[in-house]
């Protein structure tokens, strides 16, 4: 059961072969068994999950079930869920029980999906290895000495180790796609504004976007049907007509024009990873896709631009964690200033502090024009690069990450090396474009992801492109050894 | 040396919207602490702002009222600083691109001593939308558990404000107060602010600097924060101006600073210097889209707006032949202007209506600290009284007695006139009889009058009026007496 598609799980529930309570219990049992080693979940509340499962069974019995009713899902701990501890991976919010539901949570509650628990993540989504979490690192189920990627590392490990049927993640610079690549599953970051950010704890507001993390493109499509949609509570939510993301899954790929950015195959890309991507390209050629070489000339500026803009927004977004109303407050202080300083010094980890400092610096009087404004201009140029590229092709492909999962601790002393994990993913966030990572093979027994980038609102087409590939390959069904 | 003071104002007007500027929480004043603080007001993790369209309409109204540029595209920015009653750690405001640009407000500066009243145009630099902070309440008393501690009330957090900034155009405390009063009237007139200064709905920050008269360069300014009465504004500016002049004449230098006015001592004192000022690190708020206002949006707001005070003043001058001063006084508030026009529509003569509204009514209201909407004499009743003066039923003096009775609650003008026996005698025969009687008893005065003493005429009129117990129509008395004396 644990390796079944969402469609099959739904059929098992509909045919009453299995109840949602049984299915939920199966995953809860697995979490009990594997989570102590993997540390994918920060919070599990069996009673809450089983109560939802029971309600789902009633709905199934009453004939009011829909595609995801009764399906046990993992929620990244960045989404506020009413009555659930919502930590965002930080000591600052270690005691914070959300009194309201994020839009994404509401959407899943409305269809009767079961919340299995809140997954581990880099603190405030700042990291590419899940090592910045206050609740400890997450292990990559393919090799427990390695990281799962980040920041959605807990959701990634939960999907890879089959500790949930599917999961949610968020992606600010690659936080869905990079862990999907490192843990060997399918992850989609939608067009900016397609999924409401209401109740999703902000890291960098103009870049943050929630999306599905699941075993296959088809599963991601079913998740997208629930997650996407206009929400008046998020002013950046786009009033895009509701789509059925499964509708185009089986369209043939003949004539599909795929662009290969030369910058994504240049120096820095691991040779074995390159070979996996080349094999995937060969497979797509067999499916009828045509390939053209394209260029994204400003792509090399993505990381510097990102590390100006994202910290700038974060430095302001994280100001509300001041120890006054909720969250961590220092035990002892003599005055207000000391309360602020101690609470924030104690409540935030090193990486978060680094980014608050960077962000505060680039917004400071005298530096704003040179950093923030300049970065905004380059951000615009990067979006223009993609606009020009999509005149030559329908879809862009390349590696998701330059290499495979690295060892725990390997890059913690070198922030720049860590930041380079997102070199191929960040540009799409800056442009607001949708991006995916699809399992495409292995290098030394570690998963490699193929990145698929589409034009704005082309999620259905991207899912079709990924699905067609998953019909002729079985990389996405592979499971880590020792997890059965 | 002769000094010149230069003053500019920044006014925070609280907009009269039902809900907060970025959330659905109520803005009603006076609720129990933190009962109007929703998840957005307390800045829970994950919440997002959504702009209140009503607040935008208020800004457009103001822009139209001062004939200002209304930006087709303006941007909300974050002003970052830490304070316990600022829940997000930043205030959403507008910085580089405000919603309202350059405009004008015409003020009437009243006569003081030998200087005459005059009009002056004050240039508005900009007006921008922003959210208010909450309140810190110090030294809590009510509850023993928190006694002596500071509390945070976030009911006000997120209340919409329009901050209106002038050019440094004012040259005296009187001009600054005249501007503040005019603005106070205007924002109430167009219905965007309740004007309640005690509740903080209208708060002024005043920038004051001095320079030698005749020079162009501005002196270093100090900002007096949060003045919530016109009297305090007058006192604070007077004190601050003199303090700056004294400091400079003593060879000192003015340091840029923010100061507070203490109404008990009448003095200003430094709150923080420029060095202590925050670097607010403004940047566009990524949670909000730029605010776009189309010509159609402006037209829709304009269509809903009633006549503006300047237009109404001009109309009063031409339509009712009022002086500029009277027209200006009667358009000092929408309520007064509306009352005045209702008196006219009720049949009252315009000049008399103006005199009664600015005279008797205004004096009574002032004495009893009432607003015209609370006047015991409604406009129709006043019109009725004026009609009885015009048609000669009662004299001006008798009208005053009727007015007193009306003020105390009686409403039927004719009934009061009858009950008090105030009807004028306009019967020519009766008046002639009274005049003859008085003339026969005052032969000496007739001689005086004939000898050229005009005063004697007035004395005779007085005698006749006395004989009629004040009821004779004075105009008729005058005419008939003149006839008889000229024979």
Q: What is the DSSP string of A113-145?
A: -EEEEEE--SGGG--SSSTT-TT----BTTBTT
Please tell me the distance in Å from A26's CA to the nearest CA on chain B: 32
HSE of B194 in the Cβ direction (CA atoms, 13 Å)?
13
Under the banding of pLDDT at 50, 70 and 90, the label for residue B142 is low
φ, ψ of residue B243 to 5 degrees: the values are: -60, -45
Please tell me the distance from the alpha carbon of residue B371 to that of residue B246, in angstroms, as a whole number.
Answer: 41
Output B474 or A68, whichever has higher pLDDT. Answer: A68
Measured over the CA atoms of residue B61, residue B67, residue B68 and residue B72, the dihedral's sign is positive
Show Cβ contacts of residue A363 under 8 Å, excluding neighbours closer than 6 positions. Answer: A312, A315, A316, A371, A372, B80, B281, B282, B283
Smallest CA-to-CA distance from A109 within A69, A79, A159 is with: A69
Q: Is residue B298 over pLDDT 70?
A: yes
Q: What is the pLDDT of residues A19-77, one digit of tens each?
A: 999 999 999 999 999 999 999 999 999 999 999 999 999 999 999 999 999 999 999 99
Residue A391 falls in the annotated catalytic set: no
The reply to whether A224 touches chain B by the CB within 8 Å rule is no
Active site residue A377: no
Q: Say which of B42, B50, B90 has its CB closest to residue A316.
A: B90
Task: Please name the member of A93, A360, A372 whose beta carbon is closest to the beta carbon of B45.
Answer: A93
Per-residue confidence (pLDDT) for residue B144, from 0 to 100: 65
Mean pLDDT confidence for A235-252: 96
Given a cut of 70, whether residue B273 has pLDDT beyond it is yes
- Distance to chain B for A305, nearest Cα, Å: 16
Q: Which among A426, A124, A451, A455 has a CA at the least distance from the CA of A305?
A: A426
Band of pLDDT at residue B478, cut at 50, 70 and 90: confident
In B, minimum Cα distance to A336 occurs at B84
Grade residue B486 by pLDDT with cuts at 50, 70 and 90: confident
Q: Residue B369: its pLDDT value, please?
A: 87
pLDDT, residue B110, reads: 86
3-class DSSP state for residue A61?
Answer: helix
pLDDT at position A429 over 80 = yes
Burial, B241: exposed, middle or buried (Cβ in 10 Å; 0-12, 13-18, 19+)? buried
Closest CA to A167 of A104, A93, A75: A75
pLDDT tens digits, one per residue of B312-345: 999 999 999 998 888 988 998 889 999 999 999 9
Distance (Å, whole) CA B129 – CA B74: 10
Determine whether the interchain pair A198/B48 forms a contact, defined as Cβ–Cβ distance below 8 Å: yes
Please report, for residues A148, A279, A469, the alpha-carbon distance to residue A272 in angstroms, rounded to integers and kept in the order given. 19, 11, 20
What mean pLDDT comes out for the span A231-243?
A: 96
User: Phi/psi of residue B410, each to 5°?
Assistant: -75, 145
Which residues of chain A from 353 to 372 reach within 8 Å of chain B, CB to CB?
A: 360, 363-365, 368, 372
pLDDT for residue B449: 84
Tell me whether B281 touches chain A (CB under 8 Å). Answer: yes
Q: Who wins on pLDDT, B468 or A155?
A: A155
CA-based nearest residue in chain B for residue A238: B289
The β-bridge relationship of strands A41-43 and A114-119 is antiparallel
Residue B93 has pLDDT above 90, yes or no: yes
Residue B187 to chain A, least CA–CA distance (Å): 29
In 3D space, the residue among B418, B447, B23, B9 whose CA is nearest the CA of residue B227 turns out to be: B9
**Percent of all residues in chain A with a pLDDT value above 90, rounded to a whole number:** 98
Residue A263 within any structural domain of the chain: no
Q: Is the dihedral of CA A318, A202, A124, A42 positive or negative?
A: positive
CA atoms within 13 A on the CB side of B224: 31
Strand A395-399 relative to strand B202-212, pairing: unpaired
Contacts of residue A326 in chain B, CB cutoff 8 Å? 44
β-pair type (A257-261, A395-399): parallel
Mean pLDDT of the region B286-315: 95
* A234 in B contact zone (CB under 8 Å): yes
CA distance B72 to chain A (A): 18
Q: How far apart are CA B278 and CA A449, in angstroms?
A: 47
Task: Give the H or E element holding residue B222.
Answer: strand B222-227
Q: H-type helices in A235-335, by residue range?
A: 271-286, 302-317
Instruction: For residue A199, give the CATH number of its domain.
Output: 3.90.1300.10
Furthest-apart CA atoms within chain B: distance in Å: 99
Residues above pLDDT 70, as percent of chain A: 100
Of the residues A10, A19, A76, A237, which is catalytic? A76
Label residue A100 by pLDDT band (50, 70, 90): very high
Answer whether residue A341 is part of any domain: no
| Residue B43 contacts A where some CB pair is shorter than 8 Å | yes
Q: Is residue A101 a part of any domain in this protein?
A: yes
Residue A197 C-alpha, separation from nearest chain B C-alpha, in angstroms: 8
Domain assignment of residue A157, yes or no: yes
In chain A, residues with a C-beta closer than 8 Å to the C-beta of B43 are: 320, 325
The region of weakest confidence among A14-18, A184-188, B106-110 is: B106-110
**Other residues' Cβ atoms within 10 Å of the Cβ of residue A272:** 16
> What is the DSSP track for A257-279?
EEEEEGGGGSTTS-HHHHHHHHH
* Yes or no, beta carbons of B90 and A319 under 8 Å apart: yes
The fraction of chain B above a pLDDT of 90, given in percent, is: 67
Which residue is associated with the tokens 């997120």? Answer: B158
Taking the Cβ of residue B34 and every Cβ of chain A, the question of whether any pair is shorter than 8 Å is answered with: no
Residue that has been written with the tokens 């990381």 in this structure: A303
Tell me the pLDDT of chain B averaged across its residues: 92
Q: Which pLDDT band, with edges at 50, 70 and 90, does B433 fall under?
A: confident
In this prediction the ipTM stands at 0.96
Which of B46, B50, B82 comes nearest A319 by C-beta?
B82
Q: Which two tokens stand for residue B88?
A: 């997000």
pLDDT tens figures, B223-265: 999 898 999 999 999 999 999 999 999 999 999 999 999 999 9
Percent of chain B with pLDDT strictly greater than 70: 99
> Any chain A CB within 8 A of the CB of B112?
no
**Which domains can be identified in chain B, with CATH numbers?**
3-297 (no CATH), 306-420 (no CATH), 428-486 (1.10.10.410)
Calpha distance B239→B266 (Å, rounded): 7
| CB burial readout A79-114, b (16+ within 10 A) else e | bbbeebbbbbbbbbbbebebebbbbbbbbbbebbbb
Structure tokens at A61: 């019995």
For residue A462, is it left (φ>0), alpha (ψ between -120 and 50) or beta?
Answer: alpha
Catalytic-labelled residue, pool A175, A196, A216, A237? A175
Look at B152 and A360 and tell me if their CB atoms are within 8 Å. no
Determine the average pLDDT of the residues in A442-470: 98
CB contacts of B44 in chain A (<8 Å) are 80, 98-100, 326
Q: Which CA distances in Å does B253 have to B5, B225, B248, B249, B367?
A: 16, 21, 6, 9, 46
Q: Are A177 and A167 in contact (CB under 8 A)?
A: no
Does the pLDDT value for residue B447 go beyond 70? yes
Residue A207: φ, ψ to 5° = -120, -25
**B-proximal residues of A, 301-360, CB under 8 Å:** 312-313, 315-316, 318-320, 322, 324-326, 336, 340, 360
Q: What is the pLDDT of residues A209-222, one digit of tens each?
A: 999 999 999 999 99
pTM passes above 0.80: yes
Please judge whether A363 and B283 are an interchain contact, meaning their C-beta atoms are less than 8 angstroms apart: yes
For chain B, the 3-state helix, strand and coil shares in percent, each to the nearest 5, are 40, 20, 40
Omega prior to A151 cis, within 30 of 0:
yes
Distance from CA of A114 to the nearest CA of B (A): 22
Nearest chain B alpha carbon to A234: B48
Q: Residue B434 has what pLDDT?
A: 84
pLDDT score for B100: 98
Provide the pLDDT for residue B463.
85
- The CA distance from B260 to A381, in Å, is 48
Q: Give me the pLDDT at residue B143, please.
A: 64
Looking at residue B242, its pLDDT comes to 97
Nearest CA in chain B to A371: B283
Residues of chain B contacting A360 with CB distance shorter than 8 Å: 281
Q: CA-CA distance, A86 to A321, in Å (whole number)?
A: 14
Q: Considering only CB atoms, which chain B residues are within 8 Å of A308?
A: none
Lowest mean pLDDT among A239-248, A268-277, B190-199, B273-282: B273-282
The answer to whether B266 contacts chain A (CB < 8 Å) is no
Q: Which of A151, A152, A237, A302 is catalytic?
A: A151
Chain A CB contacts of B50 under 8 Å are: 232-235
* Element of type H or E holding A221: helix A217-227
Rounded Cα distance, A161 and A159, in Å: 6
CB B406 within 8 A of CB B385: yes
**Cβ–Cβ contact B78 with A under 8 A:** yes
Nearest to A340 among B44, B78, B82 (CB): B82
Banded pLDDT at A3 (limits 50, 70, 90): very high
Q: B14: part of which helix (H) or strand (E)?
A: strand B3-14
3-class state of residue B452 by DSSP = coil
CB contact under 8 A, A364 and B45: no
Domain count, chain A: 1
CB contact under 8 A, A98 and B287: no
DSSP 8-state code for residue A407: B
Is residue B485 pLDDT above 90, yes or no? no
Q: Is residue A324 part of a domain?
A: no
What's the mean pLDDT when you consider all of chain A?
A: 97
CA distance B37 to chain A (A): 12
Closest CA of chain A from B219, distance in Å: 24
Domain contains A428: no
- Given B39, B50, B279, which is nearest A100 (Cβ)? B39
The DSSP annotation for A381-421 comes to: HHHHHHHHHTTT-SEEEEESSSS-PPBTTSSTT-HHHHHGG
Cross-strand partners of B206:
B9, B224
Q: Is the pLDDT of residue B470 over 80?
A: no
Decide if A402 is inside a domain. Answer: no
* A200 near B CB under 8 A: yes
* Residue B82 touches partner A, C-beta closer than 8 Å: yes
Answer yes or no: is A266 within a domain: no
| B459-to-B394, B442, B454 alpha-carbon distances in Å | 22, 10, 9
Residue A76 a catalytic site member: yes
- Which of A159-163, A279-283, B44-48, B373-377 shows the lowest per-residue confidence on average (mean pLDDT)? B373-377
Chain B residues in contact with A121 by the CB 8 A cut-off are none
Please check whether residue A62 touches B, CB under 8 A: no
Are B279 and A372 a contacting pair at CB < 8 A? Answer: no
| N-term to C-term CA, chain A | 11
Choose, out of B39, B48, B86, B274, the residue to mutate when testing the contact with A (most A CBs < 10 Å). Answer: B48
**Structural tokens at position A56:** 């789902």
| The pair of three-digit structure tokens given for residue A288, joined into one six-digit string | 């009828």
Boundaries of domain holding A472: 6-255+463-477
Measure the CA–CA gap between A6 and A339, rounded to whole angstroms. Answer: 48
- CB-CB neighbors (< 8 A) of B84 in chain A: 322, 324, 336
Q: What is the pLDDT of residue A228?
A: 98
Q: Sort out which chain A residues have CB atoms less than 8 A from B283's CB and list them.
A: 312, 316, 363, 368, 372
Strands (E), A177-233: 186-189, 209-214
d(CA B165, CA B297): 24
The model's confidence at residue B427, banded by pLDDT at 50, 70 and 90, is confident
Segment A441-454, tens digit of pLDDT = 999 999 999 999 99
């Amino acid at each position: 059961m644990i390796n079944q598609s969402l469609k099959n799980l739904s059929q098992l529930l509909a045919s009453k072969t299995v109840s949602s309570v049984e299915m939920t219990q199966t995953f809860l049992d697995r979490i009990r068994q594997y989570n102590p080693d993997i540390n994918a979940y920060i919070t599990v509340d069996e009673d809450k999950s089983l109560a939802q499962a029971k309600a789902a069974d009633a709905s199934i019995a009453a004939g009011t079930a829909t595609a995801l009713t009764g399906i046990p899902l993992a929620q990244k701990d960045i989404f506020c869920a009413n009555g659930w501890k919502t930590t965002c991976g930080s000591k600052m919010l270690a005691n914070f029980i959300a009194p309201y539901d994020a839009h994404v949570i509401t959407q899943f509650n409305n269809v009767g999906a079961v919340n299995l628990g809140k997954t581990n993540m880099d603190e405030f989504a700042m990291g590419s290895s899940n090592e910045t979490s206050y609740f400890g690192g997450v292990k990559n189920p393919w090799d427990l000495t390695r990281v799962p990627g980040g920041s959605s590392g807990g959701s990634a490990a939960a999907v890879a180790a089959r500790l949930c049927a599917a999961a949610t993640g968020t992606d600010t610079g690659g936080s869905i796609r990079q862990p999907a690549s490192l843990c060997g599953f399918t992850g989609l970051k939608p067009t900016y504004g397609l999924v409401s950010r209401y109740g999703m704890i902000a890291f960098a507001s103009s870049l943050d976007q929630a999306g599905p993390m699941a075993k296959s493109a088809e599963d991601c499509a079913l998740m997208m049907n629930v997650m996407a949609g206009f929400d008046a509570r998020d002013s950046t939510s786009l009033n895009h007509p509701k789509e059925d993301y499964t509708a185009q899954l089986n369209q043939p790929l003949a004539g599909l024009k795929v662009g290969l950015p030369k910058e994504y195959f240049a120096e820095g890309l691991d040779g074995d990873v390159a070979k996996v991507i080349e094999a995937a390209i060969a497979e797509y050629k067999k499916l009828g896709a045509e390939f053209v070489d394209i260029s994204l000339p400003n792509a090399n500026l993505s990381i510097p631009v990102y590390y100006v803009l994202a910290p700038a927004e974060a430095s302001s977004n994280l100001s509300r964690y001041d120890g006054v109303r909720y969250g961590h407050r220092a035990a002892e202080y003599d005055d207000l200033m000391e309360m602020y300083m101690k609470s924030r010094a104690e409540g935030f980890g090193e990486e978060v502090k680094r980014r608050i400092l960077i962000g505060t610096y680039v917004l400071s009087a005298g530096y704003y024009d040179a950093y923030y404004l300049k970065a905004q201009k380059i951000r615009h140029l990067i979006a223009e690069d993609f606009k020009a590229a999509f005149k030559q092709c329908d879809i862009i492909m390349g590696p998701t990450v330059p290499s495979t999962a690295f060892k725990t601790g390997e890059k913690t002393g070198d922030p720049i090396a860590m930041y380079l994990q997102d070199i191929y993913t960040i540009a799409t966030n800056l442009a607001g474009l949708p991006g995916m990572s699809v399992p495409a093979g292995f290098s030394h027994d570690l998963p490699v992801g193929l990145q698929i980038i589409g034009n704005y609102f082309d999620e259905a087409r991207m899912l079709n492109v990924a699905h067609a590939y998953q019909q002729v390959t079985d990389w996405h069904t592979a499971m880590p050894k020792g997890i059965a | 040396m002769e000094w010149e003071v230069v003053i500019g104002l920044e006014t925070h007007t609280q907009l009269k919207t039902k809900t907060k500027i970025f959330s659905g929480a109520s803005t009603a004043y006076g609720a129990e602490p933190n009962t109007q603080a929703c998840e957005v007001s307390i800045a829970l993790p994950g919440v997002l702002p959504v702009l209140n369209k009503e607040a935008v309409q208020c800004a457009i109204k103001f822009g139209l009222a001062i004939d200002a540029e209304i930006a087709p595209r303006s941007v909300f920015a974050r002003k970052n600083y830490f304070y316990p009653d600022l829940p997000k750690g930043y205030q959403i405001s507008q910085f580089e691109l405000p919603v309202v640009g350059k405009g004008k407000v015409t003020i009437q500066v009243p006569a003081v001593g030998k200087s005459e009243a005059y009009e002056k145009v004050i240039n508005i630099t900009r007006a921008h939308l922003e959210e208010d902070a909450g309140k810190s309440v110090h030294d809590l008393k009510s509850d023993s558990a928190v006694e002596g501690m500071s509390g945070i009330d976030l009911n006000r957090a997120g209340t919409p404000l329009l901050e209106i900034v002038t050019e440094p155009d004012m040259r005296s405390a009187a001009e600054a107060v005249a501007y503040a009063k005019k603005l106070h009237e205007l924002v109430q007139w167009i219905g965007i602010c309740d004007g309640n200064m005690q509740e903080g709905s209208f708060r002024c920050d005043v920038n004051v600097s001095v320079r030698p008269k005749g020079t162009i360069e501005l002196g270093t300014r100090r900002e007096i924060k949060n003045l919530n009465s016109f009297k305090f504004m007058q006192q604070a500016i007077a004190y601050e101006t003199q303090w700056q002049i004294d400091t400079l004449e003593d060879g000192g230098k003015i340091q840029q600073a923010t100061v507070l006015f203490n109404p008990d001592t009448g003095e200003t004192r430094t709150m923080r210097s420029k060095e202590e000022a925050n670097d607010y690190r403004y940047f566009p708020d990524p949670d909000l889209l730029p605010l776009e206002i189309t010509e159609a949006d402006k037209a829709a707001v304009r269509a809903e707006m009633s006549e503006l005070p300047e237009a109404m003043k001009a109309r009063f001058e031409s339509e009712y032949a009022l002086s500029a001063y009277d027209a200006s006084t009667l358009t000092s508030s929408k309520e007064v202007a509306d009352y005045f026009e209702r008196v006219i529509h009720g049949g009252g003569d315009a000049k008399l209506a103006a005199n009664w509204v600015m005279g008797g009514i205004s004096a009574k209201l002032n004495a009893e600290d009432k607003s015209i909407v609370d006047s015991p004499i409604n406009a129709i009743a006043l019109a009725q009284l004026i009609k009885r003066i015009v048609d000669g039923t009662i004299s001006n003096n008798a009208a005053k007695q009727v007015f007193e009775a009306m003020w105390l609650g009686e409403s039927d003008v004719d009934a009061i006139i009858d009950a008090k026996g105030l009807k004028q005698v306009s019967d020519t025969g009766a008046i002639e009889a009274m005049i003859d009687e008085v003339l026969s008893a005052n032969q000496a005065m007739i001689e005086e009058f004939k000898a050229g003493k005009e005063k004697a005429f007035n004395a005779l009129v007085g005698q006749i009026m006395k004989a009629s117990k004040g009821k004779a129509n004075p105009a008729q008395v005058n005419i008939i007496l003149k006839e008889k004396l000229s024979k």
